[in-house]
Chains A and B, each alone.
Chain A
Amino acid sequence: MNAASIAARQPLPARTFTWLGRPAAAFGKVADKVEERQLVQRCLGGEARAWEEIVRRHSPRLYQLCLRFTGNSAQAEDLAQDALLRIYRALTSYDPAQGSLATWMTALTRNLLIDHYRRSRLERSTDSLDDPNNTPPAPVESRQRQPDAGVWQRELRDEVQAALARLSPELREAVILRDLQDYDYKEIAAVLRIPEGTVKSRINRGRIELARHLAPRLRKGTRML
């Protein structure tokens, strides 16, 4: 694959989504907003099944957001649970006129993630490099070539997660919301409470930085395939 072939490629096609993994933007566009509003009203009325439906519908996406932001499954589980707890307590303050339920829930979760990031900043700066969870992946060139495509794919996923973790939190959240959760720019601007132009700039810078982190691995993969 060379630059000319890349330049000649068509723009990225629209993605297809599964039900649980369906991004918020698609959900907001497809789902009946009246039904969503009724679901919230039933939940506020004390109907446990309505709250359970909300949890089942949005938990995978919130967990993914926390996992991709923190890179740690245990922390992601705790943070996603705390986020849902906060959402449950603040459900009375949700205003459907301000945006979809998914956007509102993501905004609350994002605030929790930023709080967690600020709290743990000092801990991260003093973390020992001996901790295997904090050890950055070894340089790609120093690894032996793995002929197994499955192994290579798993390693690539780990490195994508590691590259995400190396982005600044502002760029990381923008890239996650756009490229993993498929929010549109307007929704990201509502979640992050920044202008759309800033959203666009952050997404672009985050992608470029991510591509630079992944360049050695991706070049190697191109040679392999």
Chain B
Amino acid sequence: MNDFFDSLDCPRFEEQASDFLEGRLPDAAAAAMRQHARQCPACGRLLEGLHSALDALADLPMPELPPDFIPTVLARTSGQRQNLAGWGPTLRSLGRMLWQPRFAMGLALAWFSLALLLNVSGTHLNRIHAADLAPARWPSLVSRTVRRVYARGVRYYNDLRVVYEIQAALHAGSRQSSPVPPAHPSGQSQRPPYNWNPGTRTLARTRPAVPPASLTGWSLARIETEPDWKGRCV
């Protein structure tokens, strides 16, 4: 034990401080610690601070559990909450969850997305009958809905004025760049002009009811095989 006494410098004192405070050191070593604390002001202050800190820790009160703590734990584990505390805590926790702004925003976005999908697909909830809920009808319902949405999209696209204007500009460009066919002997143009129909918002060429008898075979073949001619006037 003399070795301990002789080698008791400040770092060693610091290492043994907790053991000394807890009474874990043998008597001789504890006596050496006491003597060092009396002689060394820094180690004395360290010991004093340690004792005060441990007293302060011991004075910390045991925290009280939140009132819903145990019922919540039981509800999340064995599901015995109802037996212990009734529905009150369950409803309160549910209300707390629903009261979160994040949850409300998510709910609103989900509702908006659902309404948008139903609107686009043309589904009306008040027109759904009990027979529509039979699984055997689901494929046909889905197929019909898909076709309806597709047709509506195509119709909308075809009705766009800008589409016709772009097509007209393309045709005009292609007419200017294509070689001019030989003039008809009668002086009539072999390509009828585009006419704008404001009712249907379509551009159409007026096809002559009866091809002129003087048309040559070349011009007849061109009229019949020209794609835009067939697409617009038939």
Contact = CB atoms under 8 A, between A and B. Distances in A.
Most chain-A Cβ atoms within 10 A of its Cβ — which of B53, B60, B83? Answer: B53
Nearest to A217: B56
A212 B49 contact: yes
Contacts of A56: 70
Contact of B38 (A3, A15, A179, A180): A3
Given A12-B23, A59-B69, A211-B52, A179 B57 contact: yes
Interface stretch (A33-41, A105-113, A133-141, A200-208): A200-208
A54 B154 CA distance: 67
A1 B74 contact: no
A200 B19 CA distance: 9
Contacts of A68: 60
Interface string A1-32: 11110111111100100101100000000000
Contacts of B74: 48, 51-52, 55
Contact of A88 (B46, B66, B78): B78
A96 to B, nearest CB: 21
Interface in B3-30: 14-15, 17-23
A85 B21 contact: no
B180 to A, nearest CB: 74
A63 interface: yes
A88 B80 CA distance: 14
The range of chain B's interface size is: 35 or more
Contacts of B66: 73, 77
A1 B18 contact: no
A3 B44 contact: yes
Contacts of A156: 56, 59
Binding site secondary structure of chain A? helix
Contact of A218 (B14, B49, B83): B49
Nearest to A67: B63
Contacts of B69: 59, 63, 77, 80-81
Interface in A155-212: 156-157, 160-161, 175, 179-180, 200-201, 203-204, 207-208, 210-212
Contacts of A55: 70, 73-74, 77
Contacts of B20: 11
Contacts of A20: 62
Contacts of A15: 58
Contacts of A85: 73, 76-77
B118 interface: no
A157 B61 CA distance: 9
A140 to B, nearest CB: 13
Contacts of B73: 55, 59, 81, 84-85
A214 B60 contact: no
Contact of B84 (A52, A59, A73, A215): A52
B52 A208 contact: no
A100 interface: no
B108 interface: no
Contacts of A12: 21-23, 54
Contact of B59 (A10, A153, A201): A153
B63 A11 contact: no
B207 interface: no
A21 B62 CA distance: 6
A156 B59 CA distance: 10
Contact of B37 (A4, A52, A64, A76): A4
Interface of B: 14-15, 17-23, 33-35, 37-38, 41, 43-54, 56-63, 65-66, 69-70, 72-74, 76-78, 80, 83-84
Question: Closest 7 A-B residue pairs measured CB to CB?
Answer: A3-B44, A11-B23, A211-B49, A21-B62, A7-B37, A211-B53, A7-B34
Given A6-B51, A11-B20, 7 more contacts: A52-B74, A60-B63, A68-B60, A85-B73, A207-B18, A210-B57, A221-B52
30 contacts: A1-B48, A2-B48, A3-B37, A3-B47, A4-B44, A6-B51, A9-B51, A21-B62, A48-B78, A52-B84, A59-B70, A63-B69, A64-B63, A76-B63, A81-B69, A81-B76, A84-B73, A153-B59, A156-B56, A160-B53, A160-B56, A160-B57, A160-B60, A161-B60, A201-B15, A204-B19, A212-B49, A214-B52, A215-B49, A218-B49
